[in-house]
Amino acid sequence: MSSADPSDLPHYVAMQNSFVQLPDRQANTFLNVGDLLFYCGRAIGIKGSLDLVRRCFKISKLPERIWFDVGPSVEQIIAYTNPLGILFGLGSNGGGAIMSKDLGNTWISVNSFVYQKTLNTSTEIITASVMPWISFIGSIDNTLFESFCKMRVAQQWNVCINGMYANVLLLANWTNTCPNIKPF
């Protein structure tokens, strides 16, 4: 019979912030990475269903303005890390953390340790912005509208109370009952 020596147990180095939590799911978010804008929000189901589902899109810079659906695996993009170039998202239907190393072309499921370690070892983290005014009830005064639009500028992209613009062109209108997304 041998006794266990506590010094023989494996030891782990504590991370910078071992309590990095996944964010709560939000209705509409955006994340600007260089010339790309990632937008996650409600969209009509691809199978022709009238149910609104949560989808994420990658939108290229002007003048092309090409919308790419980043797939059914991701429901919300939450962060981008530099210099690693890794996107993190929340999986669809209540799934956990997912990761993309190719700007959203492919996604893999990761555990919370990978998510925490990657964020803690990155020199720059860009987090997605939530659009809290989507659930605003009542009338919106022009001063509030203008201040939000000016605050939410990301290069060529303006994300305002009534929708998302590429310069002055309205691309998505989320103040209607059914979001009016114009990818083309």
- Per DSSP (E only), the strands in the chain are 29-33, 36-44, 52-59, 67-69, 74-82, 86-91, 97-100, 108-109, 124-127, 129-130, 153-154, 157-159, 163-166, 169-173, 180-181
Which pair of structure tokens corresponds to residue 53? 């589902």
Q: Residue 105 — very low, low, confident or very high, per pLDDT cuts 50/70/90?
A: very high
Strands 108-109 and 97-100: antiparallel
Tens of pLDDT along 41-65?
876 655 655 456 788 989 887 667 7
Most confident of 14-18, 55-59, 172-176, 180-184: 55-59
- Could you give the CA distance from residue 92 to residue 94 in angstroms, rounded to a whole number? 6
Query: What are the residue boundaries of the structural domains of the chain, listed by start?
Result: 21-181
Span 62-89, average pLDDT: 87
Whether the predicted pLDDT of 128 surpasses 80 = yes
